[in-house]
Structure 1
């Protein structure tokens, strides 16, 4: 069987099963089965072996522990302290609570690494507040959903852990590379909120005093130290990304039970149960996506793509645009982690062929996949935010598009200006990032 024929079967069946509303994790495995029966040298047992092999990864232990840290922070009431600090910083701007929503998402992204935890934790608190202050329900949902995607861009990021583990890219370098693009995306979203507030005549709020700002900062200081501990520990060589995730979880547990005393044993038990449930879903997706990716590699589909790229003679920018478009499309239909395993591992050797830096490729892919969290039909963060606001998804799409446009501009800058994602890693980790 030729690479083209196998690719047509795999992706054709995958999208057919998704259209039929088969869960993506199962669709990935089911689409491989016909190939294993058609090829006499293969057996379906190999798919199961590949799934189990993918789970035998020390790096992947970081996924459940970062999820646990995010859930513990939510349970400890850290979000309330971050909101208070954000309100003191930007609440006086036109559309104040909208800016607070974005800034608190940036803070929370530096703690959790999970966009869905961001959307659920912050959305339940701020969507009702935004509606009270005059924002429409659809715009409140759009701001909450779009700002939550920074959870996978600003370090620490679960997607970066998975990406680095799969493609042997420095996870510390990826964490640092996400800082500048993440901040730029947050600023772009704040511009959109500012324009909306001006058009709808939303006035200015009282500016917080220095004493209020200082009190809010001290109240949230221990929480916002989390990314400093995680990223600083990795960059400084004190612990690995997996160990950093355990440190983050233990730190969050200590804040909730000892420092703030806002969580008890019963609440902790619920957090552990929820974390285990969501981690199992994510890890099962990794296993089935690994079997899918192994099938692609076995039939040399990446090598076939490299031949096509060599014939087209693409440069770094052209390849970057192609990567962004590919991830934007696939992110609309499947979760980011399977997309990384399927598409990322296929495109990785192709981008190396044209001379694209692995971290630059990773940032284009991760930012593009972040859009999939708010674009239908998948759009998990959008679905969560709409459920909180009790509105149908189609009602929010117009306002989501208004927030996504400036975000697309930042993605284009990352594609055209590699230094946006490479300058800081080269400055802070020159020994690992050439």
Structure 2
């Protein structure tokens, strides 16, 4: 197995792009250890991305980009300020509520951090908040994006693990709201401890006005989640509907989207989609080699020989995923590890939907931890502060996220209640 894991780990350590490391390790193993014809490699990689649910990926990415460019984020932020800005530590609460709303549109943590983050950090600075606190709450709240549907990582998990994407989306709703509530409690505690007051007086008129301005934007998550819940859309069709609605808002209602901007957004979407799908293709080949060589069976047998207690299995997997999240990109981690862990969790009776949400949250926490945490790099650039200061600001906010991770790992109800109600 040296050719498979040795080449992969060496290239990864050298900083080679993850898809090259995955493909090179797989190719080396196939070339030197098997008699498999070369054309099978292309067949397996093409088969990895030849999936109807994966069509949701480019459309959700496009919808998020359109929302950011069309000025919709500003309307969401203004509404959040009117709704919760009067609370102690007001803009911290605004940060969380804005991310919850935006989560129903973008599906990625990086889009949230880069889109709303620019507005939120500037506003918090203007109101005298410390940079570390502003960056920390912005980073932590951005992780809600891939938990509340739509979610790009859950689409990939559903495809790789053969799990209903609709059920995964439903499973993320309660944990996403729970994350927001826990973070708002943390902001309240921080505000009391550091003597932070309210950022504005509550005005019903301002709330009504900002709500009216934000209604078309707020309709987007209702369109996506409601359409899927009522059986009107599949996840892929919901992604297309979100793009159509975003185009309608940007081009016709708000008139803030130009042809030049649309061209740029399209190119960005193509670039992002290509990077995601090439990782999925390479990881599909890697996973196929793991399966055909029975490595996944050996890992499952080894782990189950230690314990077959579902809670202990979940604890071991959580600890492993938290470490992996520090070093590996989310899509690659899901594509590689789901085929390994899925047989284990099924044997011990863990619900695949629960495991999917737990895995995604683990990897979202990884986005906030060095050395590879993408959100850290984005917010360091957005806030124009050093990477070290960004890490220092984000670290305290790992506590509420880990608390939610423990809750959804120990109590399946948080992730299985809505899928059971809507789909089973």
TM-score between the two structures when normalised by the length of structure 2: 0.96
Distance 2:295 2:127 in 1: 53
Residues 1:366 and 2:373 are matched in the alignment: no
Counterpart for residue 289 of structure 1: 283
Counterpart for residue 304 of structure 2: 310
Distance 2:12 2:89 in 1: 39
Residue 304 (structure 1) shift: 1.0
1:55-101 Cα shifts (integer Å, max 9, x gaps): 21111111010000000011110100100111011111222112111
Residues 1:324 and 2:318 are matched in the alignment: yes
Residue 136 (structure 1) shift: 2.0
Residues 1:227 and 2:186 are matched in the alignment: no
Q: How does 1:41-190 map to 2 (within 5 A)?
A: 41-190=35-184
Match among 255, 268, 276 for residue 274 of structure 1: 268
Match among 394, 404, 407 for residue 410 of structure 1: 404
1:285-340 Cα shifts (integer Å, max 9, x gaps): 11111111111111111111222233223222112112222221211111111111
Residue 274 (structure 1) shift: 1.0
Distance 1:394 1:43 in 2: 49
Counterpart for residue 200 of structure 2: 206
**Secondary structure of the residue that 2:421 maps to in structure 1?**
helix
Unaligned residue ranges in structure 1 (runs of 5+): 1-5
Counterpart for residue 3 of structure 1: none
What root-mean-square deviation, in Å, do the aligned CA atoms of Structure 1 and Structure 2 show? 1.5
**Secondary structure of the residue that 2:209 maps to in structure 1?**
helix
Residue 45 (structure 1) shift: 4.1
Q: Which moved more, 1:316-325 or 1:278-287?
A: 316-325
Q: How does 1:325-344 map to 2 (within 5 A)?
A: 325-344=319-338
The aligned length equals: 424
1:353-378 Cα shifts (integer Å, max 9, x gaps): 11111111111111111111111111
Q: 1:173 to 1:40 in 2, by over 3 A?
A: closer
Q: Which moved more, 1:181-190 or 1:76-85?
A: 181-190
Contact 1:177 1:363 survives alignment (8 Å):
yes
Contact 1:306 1:353 survives alignment (8 Å):
no
Distance 1:198 1:152 in 2: 30
TM-score between the two structures when normalised by the length of structure 1: 0.94
Unaligned residue ranges in structure 2 (runs of 5+): none
Contact 1:293 1:341 survives alignment (8 Å):
yes
Residue 275 (structure 1) shift: 0.9
Counterpart for residue 264 of structure 1: 258
